């Protein structure tokens, strides 16, 4: 089932609700600069196993509205809450990749984990994607600033240049083209504004507020959200478990999709 959820005036969030009568619900929030279609290798498998999989497109990306505003973590988390309310979701697994991981962390703190029974973080951009005086494990801020400038100067080239960073092994042209197509569906201003958000915002205060069992899946070769971020999240979130992916970069749900699906299902099924 495909539909949209209105979150504020003139802003509609696209929802793809796969197997709506499944035994358990997993809500997926994609990362920058992609769309819900990045999770196609989960949507191919998990519904056959009886799961209800809900993919949403963040505002500015995929099939959602593309307003010129509203790309901070609070607003993105509020959009997720609107979807949760519209679909009357309860006792569901909330999962997020990269910036989507940061968004779901903010959801957990902003709304006290409303409706969520378990949290799953896939290469999440938390507690800070960029280096800070007391957090030396992220990327240099100037690297993200260069990406932002390249969005304004030549977004197609930026997407082509960024694709290899998402993967551990060299990418084929077909895979690079797939990444490019997903990224080019987004609005250019949304791509830039979201990059400013994950450059400038942090979630250090959000992590201790998470009260549900949390699964952290992270590629040890990740060049976007470096592996020490996963270790920092694991340390800060009570009742969390970190599973390293030894043959993955930032796109572990593709590069080790069988292991990814197995770990996610095992986590969702745990009592």
Instruction: Give the whole-angstrom CA distance, residue 216 versus residue 69.
Output: 30
Contact present, 110 and 77 (Cβ < 8 Å): yes
Q: Please state, in angstroms and rounded to a whole number, the distance separating the CA atoms of residues 135 and 57.
A: 30
Q: Which of 131, 155, 133, 127 is nearest to 144 (CA)?
A: 131
Q: Is 85 a catalytic residue?
A: no
Place of tokens 């690297």: 143
Q: Among this protein's residues, is 222 annotated catalytic?
A: yes
Instruction: For residues 132 and 21, give the distance between their C-alpha atoms in angstroms, rounded to a whole number.
Output: 45
Rounded Cα distance between 115 and 247, Å, is: 33
Which residues make beta-bridge pairs with 51? 24
Displacement of CA 173 from its chain's centroid (Å): 24
Residue 30 annotated as catalytic? no
Catalytic residue (one of 35, 98, 176, 240):
98
If residue 216 lies in a helix (H) or strand (E), which one and from where to where? strand 214-219
Q: Please, what's the largest Cα pairwise distance for the chain?
A: 50
In whole angstroms, give the CA distance from residue 238 to residue 208.
7
Catalytic residue among 222, 240, 248, 251: 222
Give catalytic residues, as residue numbers: 98, 222, 250
């Amino acid at each position: 089932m495909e539909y949209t959820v209105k979150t504020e005036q003139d802003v509609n969030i696209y929802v793809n609700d796969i197997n709506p009568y499944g035994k358990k619900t997993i809500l997926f929030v994609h990362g920058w600069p992609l769309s819900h279609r990045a999770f196609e290798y989960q949507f191919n498998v998990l519904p056959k196993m009886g799961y209800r999989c809900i993919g949403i497109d963040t505002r500015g990306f995929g099939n959602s509205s593309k307003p010129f505003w509203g790309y901070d973590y609070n607003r993105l988390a509020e959009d997720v809450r609107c979807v949760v309310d519209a679909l009357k979701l309860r006792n569901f697994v909330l999962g997020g990749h990269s910036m989507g991981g940061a968004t779901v962390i903010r959801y957990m703190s902003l709304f006290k984990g409303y409706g969520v029974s378990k949290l799953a973080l896939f290469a999440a951009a938390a507690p800070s994607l960029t280096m800070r005086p007391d957090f030396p494990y992220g990327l240099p801020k100037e690297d993200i600033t260069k990406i932002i400038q390249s969005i304004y100067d030549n977004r197609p080239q930026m997407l082509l240049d960024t694709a290899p960073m998402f993967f551990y092994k060299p990418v084929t042209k077909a895979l690079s083209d797939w990444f490019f197509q997903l990224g080019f569906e987004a609005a250019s201003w949304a791509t830039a504004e979201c990059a400013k958000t994950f450059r400038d915002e942090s979630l250090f205060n959000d992590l201790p507020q998470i009260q549900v069992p949390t699964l952290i899946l992270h590629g040890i070769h990740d060049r976007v959200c470096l592996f020490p971020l996963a270790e920092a999240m694991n340390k800060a979130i009570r009742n969390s478990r970190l599973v390293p992916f030894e043959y993955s970069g930032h796109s572990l749900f593709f590069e080790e999709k069988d292991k990814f699906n197995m770990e996610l299902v095992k986590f969702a099924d745990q009592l």
